[in-house]
């Protein structure tokens, strides 16, 4: 069970199922990070936003639906990125020897490497894929 984040700042936006939504999501996140004085985390966060938005677009958003991007900054400095979609299935990192997996799941390998923590939460309908970065001390 995820503990509830005591939110200091939050930004939320919805995007239609369009390829141009991924660069828009990145720019939305870049602006929030700048406003929150978190540019030092920007490269990792923006890459993860791109990967999660792309996954939602390709695998999680049925035609005619949207996905939602949420950025949350906790009072304790925890930064959390969430992408909510209405698609079925649970994202997973490909395991060695997954023949035929091709490129599928490779973005989650990046999220796993760059974020301090990530996971998938239930939503009705769909799911929330999230990642977090602890405060830099």
Residue for token pair 């936006």: 13
- Give me the pLDDT at residue 98, please: 62
Q: Can you tell me which residue has the tokens 């509830």?
A: 4
The DSSP letter of residue 41 is G
Query: How many angstroms from the chain centroid is the CA of residue 110?
Result: 12
* pLDDT one-digit tens code per residue, 9-44: 999 999 999 989 999 999 999 999 999 999 999 999
pLDDT digits (tens, 9 = 90+) for 56-106: 998 888 888 899 999 999 999 999 999 999 988 778 787 766 654 556 668
Q: Residue 102's pLDDT is what?
A: 55
56 closest CA partner among 85, 80, 27 = 85
Give me the pLDDT at residue 63, please: 84
Number of alpha carbons in the 13 Å side-chain half-sphere of residue 77: 7
Higher pLDDT, 97 or 136: 136
How many CA atoms, within 13 angstroms, populate the side-chain half-sphere of residue 3?
7
**Does residue 121 have a pLDDT over 90?**
yes
Residue 94: predicted pLDDT = 74
pLDDT of residue 1: 42
């Amino acid at each position: 069970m995820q503990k509830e984040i005591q939110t200091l700042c939050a930004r939320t936006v919805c995007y239609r199922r369009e390829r141009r939504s991924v660069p828009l999501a990145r720019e939305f996140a870049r602006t929030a990070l700048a406003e929150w004085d978190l540019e030092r985390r920007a490269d990792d966060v923006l890459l993860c936003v791109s990967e999660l938005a792309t996954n939602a677009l390709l695998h999680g958003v049925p035609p005619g639906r949207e996905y939602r991007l949420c950025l949350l900054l906790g009072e304790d400095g925890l930064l959390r990125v969430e992408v909510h979609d209405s698609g079925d299935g649970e994202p997973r990192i490909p395991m060695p020897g997954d023949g035929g997996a091709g490129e599928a799941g490779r973005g989650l390998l990046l999220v796993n490497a760059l974020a301090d923590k990530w996971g998938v939460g239930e939503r009705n309908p769909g799911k929330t894929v999230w990642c977090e970065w602890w405060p830099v001390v």
